[in-house]
Amino acid sequence: MHTTKYAQNFIDTSAFTRPTWGIDSYRTAVAKLERYSETFMSEVSWALYQRAAEKVLSELNAMTAHDGSYGLIHADLHLGNIVFAGQCPQPIDFGRCGFGYFLYDLAAVMLSLVPKQRYKVIEGYKSVRKLESDFIRTLECFFIMIMMENYSHHASNPRETDGLKGEQIYALAYIHAFLNGSSFLLNVVQPVD
């Protein structure tokens, strides 16, 4: 996929307005998640989510946006929003398209993949774009951010509650690893009770 290449060549005009995905949008998502957290997680779990959110915000605040790392992104790039034309993957559903870090999109794809698949996606990405030396840490930050944003989005729908409850053993495993500074993106993470 070469969406980043096209995004990097995008020329903004004053008439083009799209959302920005970053600190402010994340704070809004976390606030909504807090309102619904008790429907699918314990108070102890919510406390871990809050600590993770603080760490995400701290890392976002330390990031430097530049032409090679920030620009127009899809902002909802998951496997359900990718179709194939022959062997070439093509993104669809640009409803959340806006401005943010390019690695945000890459992290979104990672959520539904196992470590071996994540590695292959990263290798493919690296074949068309250079990645900074600490890109795994950045991807893991965005991974946690997007996971929490997804839960925020789905938490208000009672039909989603059972699924959200069932996912918590995996979500908490990622959150524990993130809070402990243990790299998890390319490693199998054991579920947490």
End-to-end Cα, the chain, rounded Å: 37
The C-alpha atoms of residue 51 and residue 180 are separated, in whole angstroms, by: 11
Helices marked H in 37-160? 43-62, 102-110, 115-126, 135-155
The secondary structure element, H or E, covering residue 71 is strand 70-73
Cα separations in angstroms, 54 against 2, 35, 92, 178: 32, 17, 32, 12
pTM of the model: 0.91
Each residue of 59-87: pLDDT tens digit?
999 999 999 999 999 999 999 999 999 99
Average pLDDT of 21-35?
98
